């Protein structure tokens, strides 16, 4: 019973209603599942290397992958990247509208631009009409670190200033009839990011792309992003997200999926719950958890696995999982859907648990 | 100007008003800074090993450290641990009220009990009156994994069931006049943990101890805790927190501090913001960030350091930091409080930035 009851857990706040756009075949907003993005850090001009990384990111669970397109040579590589990728490719463009036009022609499924730095209004119009013809949405928005000088003068580097700057970009495109938009408002400060997105969520119905910029190294950055993005998602805000970490972008995807699955917004593969070891623990739990994690790495189906170190919280928590192991001194209780199956010795624990995981998954429809 | 404006960033929601309790000299609730706890995973009966770990946790920034006290031998070691520790020690007791009495006599600054599993009402009264005499607060509360059977029957393993079970414990102590309490409501499910604490926050004014139980390994667990605890803190809820991770408890403290500093609720040492490298990056940013992080590891003073990989967002973000480095191809701009100081070559970047950090810190009051 416990098992079923905890399944009816409350979720985050209801999702903010938004219009839906399509990035290739991937919908964003309008009730679609929150999508995960990352960005390659290869040299885009090296199509093969970039495609290899796009593949790794897709394999890890990215729904979209963004690539920087800094010059004409990158535009040329983009065609090969777009046609070779299983996931839609987003082109990241700055300063030069010809790169945006080239990216759309090359097959980019979405283009991120800053209309404010493309130069003349005519250039923005050209990009918008090419995007309209190709059915390619645009992402616009601001980073707190690069607000226009006139906004800094009038509103400051504040959430309100960020919203004004982003809305200025939105208005430029709306004036030429373009509304196939996603908006992003990013800052390295979590509270600023949160507040800017809350303000924007109340003003427009475009989908919102969430991110905390320059979040830092893996350990620091994943926590900072999880706080900021997790908070917004908990408030029902956010339609697609990118976690920014310095390092391997595959980690960005893993952290993003972790944030979504913490709220039950997405489940990718096994959820392993394990206790912090304490003075009550009489087995080498860290080793056991590590071994279990590695053994189920390839599993994509959702399954909740509990690995608990003692008799105080162990059986209760293991009861809530699909399969569980509650360890005592040198022995463990192997459990399935709340029922104790048998006692296992410490040396057989991992093998027995992994076998049980496989049996459980095989029995699912 | 940017520099000052971003300092006036919004924070989380106003803190929920709560009464204040004192754990040794450390206040919890009533507007006190949110405190960080962790728990040793040594054998408590080995006082020396346990004290060594308590020291590591305090050094990492823990305000309180909890130790499991599973038997009389652990109670004996507890005296030595309490008198040898720089931070207040919390004793974690289950099943046997004599261990709670012993822990109070041994100098525990707070005792975590579950009145429901201490047996007779008389035992709970004995613990409460010993705690009153010693000025020792008690933590009560529930883990979703170990709710009493009658609550599971009536309310289920739900946030409401958890609140009822915890309030049952609170009432037992209030009936004997004991109100020196902290309440915890933990589950391995983030949404359940969040909702249970939101409900409790509206019902009582006792301080709340936050935690997501059995959060898992470092990478998974830190994200899950950051989402759940970060959300509650963002809503103004929570007076002390413990991040549960399977592994070295020092990581628990680091993650907890990361969650608090993401909201600006605590600043411990340098905040390093760095960009995710992308196809625009022409320096080995990961290496540079790693080296900078290691070089400033010992710094306790708050300082915001930006290490940016390119000319698009780099100068803007670096401008908002106390000191910053915006890299281009083989060179970087060294910045202090928004002003460019000089160009530095890639090979001298780390050394120059660390020197600037030291100069900046030396110039602060």
Distance from CA of B70 to the nearest CA of A (A): 7
How many A-B residue pairs are in contact by the CB < 8 A criterion?
297
Contacts of B1 in chain A (CB under 8 A): 152, 156
**A4 belongs to a structural domain:** no
Number of structural domains, chain A? 2
| pLDDT attached to residue A330 | 79
Listed residues A262, A290, A312: the one ending a domain: A262
Mean pLDDT of all residues in B24-36: 97
CB-closest option in B44, B146, B317 to A279: B44
Q: Is B274 in Cβ contact with A214 (below 8 Å)?
A: yes
Mean pLDDT score of chain B: 89
Per residue in B100-144, pLDDT (tens digit) is 999 999 999 999 998 888 888 899 999 999 999 999 999 999 998
- pLDDT grade for B277, boundaries at 50, 70 and 90: low
Q: Do B71 and B197 have their domain in common?
A: yes
CB-closest option in A68, A234, A262 to B278: A68
Q: Which residues pair with B90 in a beta bridge?
A: B66, B110
| pLDDT attached to residue B9 | 54
Of these ranges, A275-279, B23-27, B151-155, the one predicted with the greatest mean pLDDT is B23-27
- pLDDT grade for B199, boundaries at 50, 70 and 90: very high
Instruction: Out of B26-35, B73-82, B330-339, pick the least confident.
Output: B330-339
Are the C-beta atoms of residues A21 and A137 closer than 8 Å to each other? yes
Q: Do A291 and A232 have their domain in common?
A: no
In which domain, by residue range, is B314 found? 270-363
Q: Which residues pair with B91 in a beta bridge?
A: B67, B111
CB-closest option in B39, B152, B220 to A258: B220
| pLDDT attached to residue A153 | 85
Q: Is A157 in Cβ contact with B246 (below 8 Å)?
A: no
Q: Is A222 in Cβ contact with B227 (below 8 Å)?
A: no
Selection from A37, A38, A39, A32 nearest residue A16 by Cα = A32
Q: Do B100 and B190 have their domain in common?
A: yes
Instruction: Out of A50-59, A193-202, A352-361, B7-16, pick the least confident.
Output: B7-16
Listed residues A221, A243, A262: the one ending a domain: A262
Q: Is A192 in Cβ contact with B68 (below 8 Å)?
A: no
Between CA A84 and CA A74 the distance in angstroms is: 15
Mean pLDDT of all residues in A233-244: 97
CB-closest option in B189, B272, B281 to A41: B281
Of these ranges, A18-22, B114-118, B157-161, the one predicted with the greatest mean pLDDT is A18-22
What count of other Cβ atoms lies within 10 Å of the Cβ of residue B115? 23
Q: Is B190 in Cβ contact with A146 (below 8 Å)?
A: no
**B336 belongs to a structural domain:** yes
Q: Is A247 in Cβ contact with B278 (below 8 Å)?
A: no
CB-closest option in A144, A263, A286 to B190: A263
Between CA B313 and CA B363 the distance in angstroms is: 28
Distance from CA of B271 to the nearest CA of A (A): 9
Q: Do A135 and A281 have their domain in common?
A: no
Q: B64-68 and B35-39: which strand pairing?
A: parallel
Distance from CA of B163 to the nearest CA of A (A): 14
- CATH assignment at residue B122: 3.20.20.20
Q: Is B195 in Cβ contact with A152 (below 8 Å)?
A: no
pLDDT of residue B2 exceeding 60, the answer is no
Distance from CA of A174 to the nearest CA of B (A): 25
Q: Is B68 in Cβ contact with A279 (below 8 Å)?
A: yes
Q: Is A274 in Cβ contact with B246 (below 8 Å)?
A: yes
Q: Do B106 and B158 have their domain in common?
A: yes
pLDDT of residue A9 exceeding 80, the answer is no
Per residue in B256-270, pLDDT (tens digit) is 999 999 999 987 678
Radius of gyration in angstroms for the set of CA atoms belonging to chain B, rounded to a whole number: 23
CA angle, B182 as apex, B180 and B188 as ends, to 5°?
160
| pLDDT attached to residue B121 | 86
pLDDT of residue A1 exceeding 50, the answer is no
- Its ipTM equals 0.83
Distance from CA of B30 to the nearest CA of A (A): 23
Between CA A100 and CA B28 the distance in angstroms is: 55
Per residue in B31-86, pLDDT (tens digit) is 999 999 999 999 999 999 999 999 999 999 999 999 999 999 999 999 999 999 99
**SS3 call for A24:** coil
| pLDDT attached to residue A314 | 66
pLDDT of residue B310 exceeding 90, the answer is no
pTM score, whole prediction = 0.84
Give, to the nearest 10 degrees, the angle between helix A47-60 and helix A249-262.
Answer: 20
Name the closest residue on chain A to residue B190, using Cα atoms: A262
Contacts of A72 in chain B (CB under 8 A): none
| pLDDT attached to residue B181 | 98
Q: Do B105 and B246 have their domain in common?
A: yes
**B3 belongs to a structural domain:** no
Give, to the nearest 10 degrees, the angle between helix A72-84 and helix A47-60.
Answer: 50
- CATH assignment at residue B284: 3.30.413.10
CB-closest option in B39, B217, B313 to A213: B313
**A25 belongs to a structural domain:** yes
Query: Pick the residue with more confidence: A314 or A255?
Result: A255
Q: Do A277 and A194 have their domain in common?
A: no
CB-closest option in A8, A216, A275 to B214: A275
Distance from CA of A202 to the nearest CA of B (A): 17
CB-closest option in B10, B43, B158 to A159: B10
Q: Is A228 in Cβ contact with B262 (below 8 Å)?
A: yes
Selection from A190, A185, A244 nearest residue A216 by Cα = A244
State the sign of the Cα–Cα–Cα–Cα dihedral B283, B286, B291, B297: positive
Contacts of A94 in chain B (CB under 8 A): 312
Q: Is A246 in Cβ contact with B275 (below 8 Å)?
A: yes
Contacts of B11 in chain A (CB under 8 A): 191
Listed residues A262, A278, A295: the one ending a domain: A262
Between CA A344 and CA A288 the distance in angstroms is: 13
Contacts of A68 in chain B (CB under 8 A): 278-280
- pLDDT grade for A3, boundaries at 50, 70 and 90: very low
Between CA A364 and CA A354 the distance in angstroms is: 16
What count of other Cβ atoms lies within 10 Å of the Cβ of residue B302? 15
Q: Do B170 and B297 have their domain in common?
A: no
Q: Do A221 and A358 have their domain in common?
A: no
Between CA A164 and CA A212 the distance in angstroms is: 19
Q: Do B199 and B311 have their domain in common?
A: no
Mean pLDDT of all residues in A250-270: 90
pLDDT of residue B276 exceeding 90, the answer is no
Q: Do A77 and A187 have their domain in common?
A: yes
Q: Is B222 in Cβ contact with A246 (below 8 Å)?
A: no
Structure tokens at A17: 């209603």
Mean pLDDT of all residues in A15-27: 97
């Amino acid at each position: 019973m416990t098992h079923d009851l905890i399944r009816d857990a409350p979720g985050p706040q209801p999702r903010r209603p938004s219009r839906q756009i399509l990035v290739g075949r991937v919908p964003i907003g309008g009730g679609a599942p929150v999508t995960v993005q990352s960005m390659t850090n290869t040299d885009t001009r090296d199509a093969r290397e970039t495609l290899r990384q796009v593949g790794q990111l897709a394999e890890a669970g990215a729904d979209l992958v963004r690539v920087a397109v800094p010059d004409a040579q990158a535009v040329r590589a983009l065609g090969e990247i777009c046609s070779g990728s299983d996931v839609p490719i987003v082109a990241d463009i700055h300063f030069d509208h010809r790169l945006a036009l080239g990216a759309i022609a090359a097959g980019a499924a979405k283009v991120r631009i800053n209309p404010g730095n493309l130069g003349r209004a005519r250039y923005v119009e050209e990009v918008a009409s090419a995007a309209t013809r190709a059915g390619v949405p645009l992402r616009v928005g601001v980073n707190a670190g690069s607000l226009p000088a006139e906004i800094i003068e009038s509103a400051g580097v504040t959430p309100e200033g960020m919203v004004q700057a982003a809305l200025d970009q939105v208005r430029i495109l709306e004036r030429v009839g373009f509304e196939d938009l996603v908006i992003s408002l990013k800052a390295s400060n979590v509270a600023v990011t949160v507040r800017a997105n809350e303000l924007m969520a109340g003003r427009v119905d475009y989908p919102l792309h969430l991110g905390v910029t320059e979040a830092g190294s893996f350990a620091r950055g994943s926590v900072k992003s999880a706080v900021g993005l997790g908070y917004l998602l908990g408030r029902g805000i956010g339609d697609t997200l990118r976690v920014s970490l310095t390092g391997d972008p595959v980690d960005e995807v893993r952290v993003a999926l972790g944030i979504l699955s913490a709220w039950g917004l997405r489940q990718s593969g096994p959820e392993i719950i394990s206790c912090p070891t304490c003075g009550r623990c009489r087995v080498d739990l860290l080793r056991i958890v590590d071994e279990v994690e590695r053994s189920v790495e390839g599993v994509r189906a959702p399954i909740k696995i509990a690995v608990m170190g003692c008799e105080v919280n162990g059986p209760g928590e293991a009861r809530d999982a699909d399969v569980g192991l509650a360890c005592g001194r040198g022995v463990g209780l192997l459990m399935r859907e709340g029922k104790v199956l048998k006692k296992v010795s410490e040396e057989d624990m991992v093998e027995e648990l992994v076998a049980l995981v496989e049996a459980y998954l095989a029995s699912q429809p």
